[in-house]
Structure 1
Amino acid sequence: MRHSLKLFLQTDYVTRFSFSIVYALLASVALNFFYEPGNIYASGATGVAQIISTLFQQFLQVDFPIAWGLLLINLPLFILGWFKISRRFTIFTGITVVFTSIFMELIPTEVLTTDPIICAIFGGVLNGAGMGYAFKNGLSSGGLDFITIYIRKKTGREVGSLSIIFNGMIMVAAGILFGWQYALYSALAIFVSGKVIDVVYTKQKKMQVMIITRRPEVVIAALQKRLQRGITIINNAQGAYTKENETVLFTIVTRYEMPLLREAMNKSDGKAFVSIAENVQILGNFYEEEL
């Protein structure tokens, strides 16, 4: 019992647990303050749950809570996460989904505006920020996120862009069932949410770093201490102006790791020349931290 408590209270686990609550709050506010008043369908499993809830209300005159639909949809997808992504990731995602369902029920629907464009934009920003921070801390909102993360691990494509593709199918279903105006405004919300995810979730942004230094051993030691990245060394490079021999180092990092890179360079060789190319495409193996 003490060992389990000690394990849970580790900094990493506490951070993940706190961001589960943050995401659940943001997603619930987005749903109850913007999506529902504006008749906007959310992305992922929440959007599917909204469609199911609407079907029950319109055709069966039964009030089926979105929160219950969210839980039921996620149950089979937890199997994919458990065996194909990470068991720890799946457990914390389960916690996140439970918190989200609870907050969806506890937070009352508040009509700030019924303008569908405003609801789509602000709901998309809140939802995307919550999902991006969840991904950044090794969590997920569940549902289609399991599928998009699994495909990202296999193909390297950006999560937000994959989410737009999958959620487009949800919008088509919403348009056919309930009217195309709802589908179009919901598509705007999904687009905004996906772009915010790509801005916040910086772990997926890969950057090529070229370092020209006269202290290669010290720089390499500092980089390897802080980053789990391979480094290519080009010896005996010569500066055209100084004619002095220097060493060129090449490595690939994520945007999320940039503070660690700066720290390593400041500690090892503050006078080194560092060039960074953003959003490079990688072919072959590239280590990514387990979720």
Structure 2
Amino acid sequence: MKFSRTRNLISEYGQIALGIVLASIGLKAFLLPNGFLDGGVTGIALLVSSQLNIDVSVLLIAFSIPFLVLGYYTVSKRIVIKSIISIIGLALFIHFENFGTITEDKLLISIFGGLFLGAGIGIAIRNGSVLDGSEILGVYLNDKFGFSIGQVILLFNIILFSITAYLISVEVALYSILTYIVTAKVTDLTIEGFEDFIGVTIVSKKYEEIESAIIKDLGVGMTLYKGTRGVGNSGKYEDFDIIHSIINRIDIKKMHRIVKTIDDDAFIVEFDVNNVKGGVLRHYLDKKKNKVLPKV
């Protein structure tokens, strides 16, 4: 148990270190040399650095302190400690590394700067840390006043980019918004993964045939619920299975064809799934050996 905990800890901090390296590449090789900004605390540090000629690594730590203090009372102490280590590590890496300017194309700067920064932030968040304190502010205001975290961060960045447009230029502000959009999207993809899963619930009188066909043709696991249907003029049809499964979105049309072939009147409900762990998510059936998945 102790060895496993140590291994997990090393893995977490190793991945956080990778996140710091990626984020610093995005900042030092793309955004900083070209005067572009990102959103959040990082964006504030970059803006103030451009106006006052103060080392951005110093500003990054200074502006993060209030948010980390706030985080001490709103999130777990473990997250705050990891975040302190991560932010100091990012500041040190930015201060000492010396990447050459890779490109002067403004569109490429926005896209690839946001890509590296978003990947770094996402990897850090996946391992229980933050590289930007604006997420902590969002958690606090959500808990205190009910504002969504997304609304808080959006408002925060609208103010930041408006100030950028006034102090620097509208063009820089627009490219910085593009950088922020890329960063946010890549952060989400890094946290949630690139595979897009969808939940499916199927209600049909021919449930046994559909169960077998899904297992055979899609090779995914499923959970079965006992249900009662047909309550109304037609009376009750009892003792049947409601099929619940998680499949990759790319297989959804194939699943529709399978169900339609067996029961054109089947009732199907689909819903988005943000995160999936465990279970049988891919084609784990060995069709040659004709294995059957266990029902849960």
* TM-score, shorter chain, exceeding 0.5: yes
Shift of 1:246: 3.3
Task: State the match for 1:188 in structure 2.
Answer: 178
- Residue 241 of structure 2 aligns to which amino acid in structure 1? T
Q: Can you list the C-alpha shifts for 1:7-30, whole angstroms capped at 9, x where unaligned?
A: 996233223211221121111111
Shift of 1:235: 3.0
Counterparts of residues 131-280 of structure 1 (less than 5 Å): 131-150=121-140, 163-202=153-192, 208=199, 210=201, 233-236=225-228, 245-248=239-242, 255-258=274-277, 260-262=278-280, 270=293
Q: Can you list the C-alpha shifts for 1:47-71, whole angstroms capped at 9, x where unaligned?
A: 11111212213xxxxxx11000010
Is 1:174–1:180's contact at 8 Å kept on the other side of the alignment?
yes
Task: State the match for 1:98 in structure 2.
Answer: 88
For 1:107 and 1:34, locate their aligned partners in 2 and report how far apart those are by CA, in whole Å. Answer: 13
Shift of 1:237: 6.1
Counterparts of residues 72-91 of structure 1 (less than 5 Å): 72-91=62-81
Q: Can you list the C-alpha shifts for 1:115-173, whole angstroms capped at 9, x where unaligned?
A: 221100000111111112222222211321212344677869675x7644432321111
Q: Can you list the C-alpha shifts for 1:212-233, whole angstroms capped at 9, x where unaligned?
A: 888xxxxxxxxxxxxxxxx995
User: Based on CA coordinates, which of the two structures has the bigger radius of gyration?
Assistant: 2
Kindly tell me: are residues 166 and 250 of structure 1, through their superposed partners in 2, closer, same or farther at Cα, counting changes over 3 Å?
Answer: farther
- Residue 74 of structure 1 aligns to which amino acid in structure 2? S
For 1:88 and 1:8, locate their aligned partners in 2 and report how far apart those are by CA, in whole Å. Answer: 18
For 1:179 and 1:264, locate their aligned partners in 2 and report how far apart those are by CA, in whole Å. Answer: 49
Secondary structure of 1:247's match? strand
The answer to whether 1:26 aligns with 2:22 is yes
Shift of 1:254: 5.1
Task: State the match for 2:6 in structure 1.
Answer: 10
* Aligned-residue RMSD, C-alpha: 3.8
For 1:232 and 1:80, locate their aligned partners in 2 and report how far apart those are by CA, in whole Å. Answer: 45
For structure 1, the residue ranges without an aligned partner over 5 or more in a row are 1-5, 58-63, 215-230, 275-291
TM-score normalised by structure 1 residue count: 0.68
For 1:103 and 1:211, locate their aligned partners in 2 and report how far apart those are by CA, in whole Å. Answer: 52
Kindly tell me: are residues 177 and 66 of structure 1, through their superposed partners in 2, closer, same or farther at Cα, counting changes over 3 Å?
Answer: same
Is 2:61–2:88's contact at 8 Å kept on the other side of the alignment?
yes
For 1:174 and 1:265, locate their aligned partners in 2 and report how far apart those are by CA, in whole Å. Answer: 50
Kindly tell me: are residues 185 and 33 of structure 1, through their superposed partners in 2, closer, same or farther at Cα, counting changes over 3 Å?
Answer: same
Count of matched residue positions in the alignment of Structure 1 and Structure 2: 239
Kindly tell me: are residues 147 and 139 of structure 1, through their superposed partners in 2, closer, same or farther at Cα, counting changes over 3 Å?
Answer: same
Task: State the match for 1:53 in structure 2.
Answer: 49
Identity, % of aligned positions: 22
Q: Can you list the C-alpha shifts for 1:66-85, whole angstroms capped at 9, x where unaligned?
A: 00001011111112211111
TM-score normalised by structure 2 residue count: 0.67
For 1:112 and 1:90, locate their aligned partners in 2 and report how far apart those are by CA, in whole Å. Answer: 34
For structure 2, the residue ranges without an aligned partner over 5 or more in a row are 209-222, 231-236, 246-270, 286-291
Shift of 1:244: 9.5
For 1:253 and 1:210, locate their aligned partners in 2 and report how far apart those are by CA, in whole Å. Answer: 12
